[in-house]
Amino acid sequence: LAKTTQPISMDSYEGQEVNITCSHNNIATNDYITWYQQFPSQGPRFIIQGYKTKVTNEVASLFIPADRKSSTLSLPRVSLSDTAVYYCLVGAATYSSASKIIFGSGTRLSIRP
Amino acid sequence: DTGVSQNPRHKITKRGQNVTFRCDPISEHNRLYWYRQTLGQGPEFLTYFQNEAQLEKSRLLSDRFSAERPKGSFSTLEIQRTEQGDSAMYLCASSLAREATEAFFGQGTRLTVV
């Protein structure tokens, strides 16, 4: 399984754009990149998933360079409610693989007023 | 369907007792995962099912831990002879096999062993 490396913590201010980068040098051809968000005392919540280039949804954007060895989660105009732990995961998303979801330590994002 | 449901939400037990947790996944999801999470750490994978088949168990899952998913619907996680080190949040998640990495998590069961 591809291992991921991401910053332990980040701080930002309300209204700013926050970019969290994740390294996954050993990503496999059929691996997808997935990000989860977790608030205290809650289970993780799926944010976004991508394979290559850029993916955008109502919550975030995910940028993946051509070599796929890293990815960047971009949160536009953060608010206090975006304070959470963000996990970057890589793994195959298809039925045929024995894929399982493995979490690292995550990035603890703190948003200040 | 209101999502993944876990019961109980909190459990306090004495060391040496057995405990059982239940997870009801989203109804059409055929994959079900169990995780354990301690303070400040990411969720640790314990085991997962595809329908009723248990496909993998982590080495973290000692002989005191057992999980079942009869008929491929709800799942139970049992811990026998609990130890203080078992105190943690136990999380359940479910997904479709074809979208295996997009999982939906329950609120968890917080276990405290005293």
| pLDDT (tens place) for every residue of chain B, 114 residues total | 579 999 999 999 999 999 999 999 999 898 999 999 999 899 999 999 989 988 888 877 789 999 999 988 999 999 999 999 999 999 999 988 777 678 899 999 999 999
pLDDT per position as a tens digit, A17-71: 999 999 999 998 888 899 999 998 899 999 999 999 899 999 999 999 999 999 9
Contacts of B76 (CB under 8 A, 6+ apart): B20, B21, B22, B23, B67, B68, B69
Position A97 pLDDT exceeds 70: no
The answer to whether the CB atoms of A44 and B105 lie below 8 A apart is: yes
- The tokens for B15 are 């060391």
Structure-block tokens of residue B4: 């993944």
Q: Which of A43, A98, A103 sits opposite B106 (nearest CB)?
A: A43
How far is it, in rounded angstroms, from Cα B5 to Cα B33?
13
User: How far from each other are the two terminal CA atoms of chain B, in whole angstroms?
Assistant: 35
The larger pLDDT score, comparing residue A113 to residue B59, is at A113
Report whether A106 contacts A83 (CB < 8 A).
no
**pLDDT band, residue A105 (cuts 50/70/90):** confident
Cβ–Cβ under 8 Å, residues B98 and B30? no
Instruction: List the 28-87 stretch of B: residues with Cβ below 8 A of A.
Output: 33, 35, 41-45, 48, 55-56
The pLDDT of residue A88 is above 60: yes
Flag whether pLDDT at A77 surpasses 80. yes
Cβ of A101 and B55 within 8 Å?
no
Instruction: Provide, as residue numbers in chain A, all residues whose Cβ is less than 8 Å from the Cβ of B91.
Output: 43-44
- For residue A99, list chain B residues with Cβ-Cβ distance below 8 A: 100-101
What pLDDT is stored for residue A93 in this prediction? 63
Distance (Å) from the alpha carbon of A16 to chain B's nearest alpha carbon: 26
Given B55, B102, B107, which is nearest A42 (Cβ)?
A: B107
Selection from A7, A38, A27, A29 nearest residue A89 by Cα: A27
pLDDT at A33: 92
Structural element, H or E, at residue A94: none
- Residue B68: per-residue pLDDT: 95
Tokens 């109502």 correspond to what residue?
A58
Answer whether A34 touches B (CB < 8 Å): yes
pLDDT at B100: 66
Two tokens, residue A102 = 């493995």
User: How high is the pLDDT of residue A20?
Assistant: 97
pLDDT at B58: 85
In this complex, the residue of B4, B101, B110 whose CB is nearest that of residue A99 is B101
pLDDT number for residue A94: 57
Q: Higher confidence at residue A51 or residue A95? A: A51
Q: Which of residues 82-101 of B touch A (CB under 8 A)?
A: 89, 91, 93, 97-101
Tell me the range of A30-34, A78-82, A103-107 where mean pLDDT is highest: A78-82
Is residue A98's pLDDT more than 80? Answer: no
Provide the mean pLDDT of chain A: 90
pLDDT value at position A7? Answer: 96
CB contact (8 A) between residue A101 and residue B105: no
